Amino acid sequence: MMKKIAFIMIFGALSLQSVGYTSGVVVDSIKSSGDSSHSPECKNNEDKIKGCMERVYYSNGNLLREIPYKDGKIEGIKKEYHENGNLLREIPYKDDKRDGVEKRYGEDGSLRFSITFENGKAISGKCGNGKTIDSQKLRELWRLDKSRLGCD
Is residue 41 one of the residues assigned to a domain?
Answer: yes
Rounded Cα distance between 133 and 144, Å, is 13
- pLDDT tens sequence across 23-40: 444 444 333 334 435 789
Do 111 and 75 lie in one domain? The reply is no
Last residue of a domain, one of 34, 54, 85: 85
Do 81 and 107 lie in one domain? The reply is no
Rounded Cα distance between 136 and 89, Å, is 22
**Greatest alpha-carbon span in the chain:** 70
Last residue of a domain, one of 58, 85, 112: 85
- pLDDT tens sequence across 94-108: 999 999 999 999 999
> Whole domain around residue 29: which residue ranges?
19-85
User: Mean pLDDT over residues 9-33, rounded?
Assistant: 38
Among 55, 52, 117, smallest CA distance to 91 is for: 117
Is the pTM above the cut of 0.75?
A: no
Do 78 and 106 lie in one domain? The reply is no
Is residue 72 one of the residues assigned to a domain?
Answer: yes
Is residue 108 one of the residues assigned to a domain?
Answer: yes
Does 142 or 70 have the greater pLDDT score?
70
Is residue 8 one of the residues assigned to a domain?
Answer: no
72 pLDDT exceeds 50? Answer: yes
Is residue 122 one of the residues assigned to a domain?
Answer: yes
Do 76 and 123 lie in one domain? The reply is no
Q: Report the number of distinct structural domains present in the chain.
A: 2
Do 24 and 58 lie in one domain? The reply is yes
